[in-house]
Structure 1
Amino acid sequence: MSALQNSNSELNVLEQSPLVDQSFSTKLHVPATDFAEECPVTLSMPTDQWENWKTDQERKFACKFHDQTPKYTYRRKTNGTGGRPATNIFYRVFRCHRRGHYQSQAKQRKAATSIRCGCEAMFTVTCKKSSPDMVQIKYHWRHTGHQPGTPSDLAKTPIDKEAREWIRQRVEEGMDWRGIKQLLKTEQEIMFKVWE
């Protein structure tokens, strides 16, 4: 049996395992590779699809993009006077959750290190009045200071809503933290077999 057939059969075992929830078995994160040959890259898509694209990028590379749109872009004059006429319907800025550098205000050392590493990955979403059904995304996809999808990076990624819901369901089923950790350990062992 070839290595590919072996990993496929173990992946089927993973998907059929009663211990492993389907929402987790479909999240096989891999380290991020090149998104395109150049960075940044400009994308165009329908206005109603960009939020799904954002969610897909977050799941694919196991990182979060936080809305860091400057406040002044939300302000609009009610009387319509003064300044240049607005050309955008909306403009949003999203940055990687590992952006910036941690500067402690405390005099004592922290036990845990900061997740901030100065990552410059970001994207902007612009919807212009001239084409309200399309958005333009300028995507700076290269992450600096960390490699999305690696185990060390996954340890510093915030838990998503699906994972929180999965944990909440296990607690409602009567499982304690020891049982949940054992369940996750079993899933991890199966996943390592798939990767080998």
Structure 2
Amino acid sequence: MDAQTLRLTLNRLLTPNTYPSSPHTFRIAADQWEAWLTAERRQVIWREKKVVLPKGANPRGNFSRKVLFECDHAGQYRDTRDPNLSPRKRRKTKDSIKCGCTASIAVSWLRDDDGTLEVVYQWQHVGHGTQLRIF
């Protein structure tokens, strides 16, 4: 591998993807979905938050299944410690990573059954940066 190719490869790995709008909506083939999500997970930890299945005889929406992912920094810290407990008996804990990040991924398996998924990607992270995760 020559130096230019190596530089371009490293730049692509170390630079997070940006899109023209946030949220960015696009369609992707079902067989490419896992590879795309794996590439996005190199930058951020995405938690599967909810799976939505249409219910009833006449379900709304043009999807057969929908999965919502959220950034691991989503939500707010909730202090659940007992304020009446003496400081000597309290556990020493680190600060929470929760900072109210609104980044999310919503993927819908469309009813068309042509193997296309619709992805709504809220890619801008609020309150924290993204870093390459190597493991």
Q: Which has the higher strand share?
A: 2
Summarize the alignment of residues 72-87 of structure 1 with structure 2, pairs less than 5 Å apart. Answer: 73-74=52-53, 76=55, 81=57, 83-84=58-59, 87=62
Which of 44, 47, 64 does residue 66 from structure 1 map onto?
A: 47
Q: Which has the larger radius of gyration?
A: 1
* Rounded Cα–Cα distance in structure 2 between residues aligned with 1:112 and 1:56: 29
Which of 13, 34, 40 does residue 23 from structure 2 map onto?
A: 40
Structure 1 counterpart of 2:118, which letter? Answer: Q
| Corresponding residue for residue 110 of structure 2 | 128
| Corresponding residue for residue 38 of structure 2 | 55
Deviation per CA, 1:151-176, whole angstroms, max 9, x where unpaired?
Answer: xxx6xxxxx8xx3xxxxxxxxxxxxx
* Rounded Cα–Cα distance in structure 2 between residues aligned with 1:31 and 1:111: 32
| Corresponding residue for residue 173 of structure 1 | none
* Rounded Cα–Cα distance in structure 2 between residues aligned with 1:64 and 1:58: 6
Deviation per CA, 1:54-90, whole angstroms, max 9, x where unpaired?
Answer: 111111x2x11111115xx23745xxx4x43663121
Q: Say which is worse superposed, 92-101 or 128-137, in terms of deviation.
A: 128-137
Root-mean-square deviation (CA, aligned residues, Å) is: 3.0
Q: Are residue 104 (structure 1) and residue 85 (structure 2) matched?
A: no
| Corresponding residue for residue 85 of structure 2 | none
* Rounded Cα–Cα distance in structure 2 between residues aligned with 1:43 and 1:86: 17
For structure 1, the 5+ residue unaligned runs are 1-7, 12-25, 155-159, 164-196
Summarize the alignment of residues 1-196 of structure 1 with structure 2, pairs less than 5 Å apart. Answer: 30=14, 32=16, 35-59=18-42, 61=43, 63-70=44-51, 73-74=52-53, 76=55, 81=57, 83-84=58-59, 87-107=62-82, 108=90, 110-149=92-131, 163=135
TM-score, normalised relative to structure 1: 0.52
* Rounded Cα–Cα distance in structure 2 between residues aligned with 1:40 and 1:84: 25
Q: 1:132 offset after TM fit, Å? A: 3.6
* Rounded Cα–Cα distance in structure 1 between residues aligned with 2:114 and 2:63: 9
Structure 2 counterpart of 1:95, which letter? Answer: E
Q: Which has the higher helix share?
A: 1
* Rounded Cα–Cα distance in structure 1 between residues aligned with 2:29 and 2:66: 15
Identity percentage of aligned residues: 23
* Rounded Cα–Cα distance in structure 2 between residues aligned with 1:118 and 1:85: 30
How many residue pairs end up in the alignment? Answer: 121
